[in-house]
């Protein structure tokens, strides 16, 4: 490339003109024992652009296990997509290079044979249709982290008792929302989700009043002999009682809107997926 081109713009242009995007998500701080393991941030930016232009079906994700723990070091919002691990120790590791080459040949051949449509090559789709399609995909992604029955149980017992598993679902829900890949064009839907999330987080922000139960199933609000230990404890308890009713309304408004305006999102299926993911997580613990 002659002259002094804008490097990011040049890279994005090359991605737009490509048919396949190969993305290496190997961690860059594998020796850091204190901070979270992360891939190259520039690679993540390029991946986000490739997703928008090419779509996931034209993307090959790689991870070098010599520099990280696969798949545990994969970014949270990407680890649900298929990735291929390889191991190359150094530039002289010819065997590792050979294995990677074979892996890429198979992956590239599959994409060429299936020839999936590019995200940018859908001329029949209007801007509004594309926005809705993306909203549906992101909404499914979000709701795949939310188990309705567990939340109903949480609501039933709060504030006297908090079930342990609600923290798993809360972290998954917020983790998806905070992902740089998550975006909703439907502002009403987004506001309903934000209101629900904020009050959900608030409802779990009074840990100073809770202690673990004997069965290990959750946490009890500390009220010895049914007497609040101090004025703040009583005040916070009644606040949580009121917040519980607000949360019930938040969830009802959100689910009603989804069931009315997003029939493509099957809440029974997403809830089932969320619980299956939770069970898999617990089995690995």
Q: Per-residue confidence of the chain (285 residues) as pLDDT tens digits?
A: 566 667 788 888 999 999 999 999 999 887 777 777 788 888 888 998 898 889 889 999 999 999 888 888 877 667 667 888 999 999 999 999 999 999 999 999 999 988 888 877 766 778 898 899 999 999 999 999 999 999 999 999 999 999 999 999 999 999 999 988 899 999 999 999 999 999 999 999 999 999 999 888 999 999 998 899 999 999 999 999 999 999 999 999 999 999 999 999 999 999 999 999 999 988 876
| Domain carrying residue 28 | 7-114
Q: Are residues 168 and 269 in the same domain?
A: yes
The residue from 47, 81, 114 where one domain ends is: 114
Please report the pLDDT score of residue 73 as a whole number: 82
- Residue 122 lies inside a defined structural domain of this protein: no
Q: Are residues 86 and 138 in the same domain?
A: no
From the list 133, 141, 157, the residue with the least C-alpha distance to 193 is 141
Q: Are residues 154 and 267 in the same domain?
A: yes
Please report the pLDDT score of residue 76 as a whole number: 65
For the entire predicted model, the pTM comes to 0.60
- Residue 120 lies inside a defined structural domain of this protein: no
- What is the CB-side half-sphere exposure of residue 169 using CA atoms within 13 A? 27
Q: Are residues 23 and 77 in the same domain?
A: yes
Q: Is 101 exposed, middle or buried (0-12, 13-18, 19+ CB in 10 A)?
A: exposed
Q: How many angstroms separate the CA atoms of 216 and 218, rounded?
A: 6
The residue from 90, 114, 138 where one domain ends is: 114
- The total of structural domains in the chain comes to 2
Q: How many angstroms separate the CA atoms of 177 and 138, rounded?
A: 9
- Residue 121 lies inside a defined structural domain of this protein: no
Q: Are 96 and 87 in contact (CB under 8 A)?
A: yes
Please report the pLDDT score of residue 68 as a whole number: 87
Q: Are residues 106 and 131 in the same domain?
A: no
Q: How many angstroms separate the CA atoms of 163 and 178, rounded?
A: 24
- Residue 1 lies inside a defined structural domain of this protein: no
Q: In terms of DSSP H, where are the helices of the chain?
A: 7-16, 41-53, 94-114, 127-143, 148-157, 166-177, 187-203, 231-261, 267-284
Q: Are 220 and 179 in contact (CB under 8 A)?
A: no
The residue from 61, 92, 114 where one domain ends is: 114
């Amino acid at each position: 490339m002659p002259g002094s081109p804008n490097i990011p713009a040049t890279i994005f242009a090359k991605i737009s003109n490509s048919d396949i995007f190969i993305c290496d998500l190997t961690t860059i701080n594998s020796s850091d024992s204190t901070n979270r393991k992360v891939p190259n941030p520039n690679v993540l930016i390029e991946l986000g652009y490739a997703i928008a232009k090419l779509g996931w079906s034209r993307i090959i994700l790689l991870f070098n296990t010599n520099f990280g723990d696969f798949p545990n070091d994969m970014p949270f919002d990407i680890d649900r997509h298929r990735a291929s691990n390889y191991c190359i120790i150094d530039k002289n590791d010819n065997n590792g290079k050979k294995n990677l080459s074979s892996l890429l040949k198979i992956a590239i051949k599959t994409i060429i044979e299936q020839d999936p449509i590019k995200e940018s090559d859908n001329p029949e789709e209007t801007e509004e249709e594309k926005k809705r399609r993306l909203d549906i995909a992101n909404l499914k992604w979000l709701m795949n982290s939310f188990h309705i029955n567990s939340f109903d149980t949480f609501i039933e017992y709060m504030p006297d008792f908090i079930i342990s598993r609600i923290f798993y679902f809360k972290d998954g829900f917020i983790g998806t929302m905070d992902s740089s890949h998550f975006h909703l064009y439907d502002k009403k839907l987004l506001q309903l989700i934000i209101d629900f999330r904020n009050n959900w987080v608030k409802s779990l922000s009074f840990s100073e009043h809770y202690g673990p139960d004997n069965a290990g199933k959750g946490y009890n609000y500390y009220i010895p002999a049914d007497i609040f230990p101090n004025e703040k404890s009583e005040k916070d308890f009644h606040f949580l009682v009121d917040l519980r009713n607000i949360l019930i309304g938040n969830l009802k408004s959100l689910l009603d809107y989804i069931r009315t305006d997003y029939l493509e999102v099957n809440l029974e299926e997403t809830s089932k997926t969320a619980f299956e993911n939770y069970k898999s997580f617990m089995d690995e613990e």
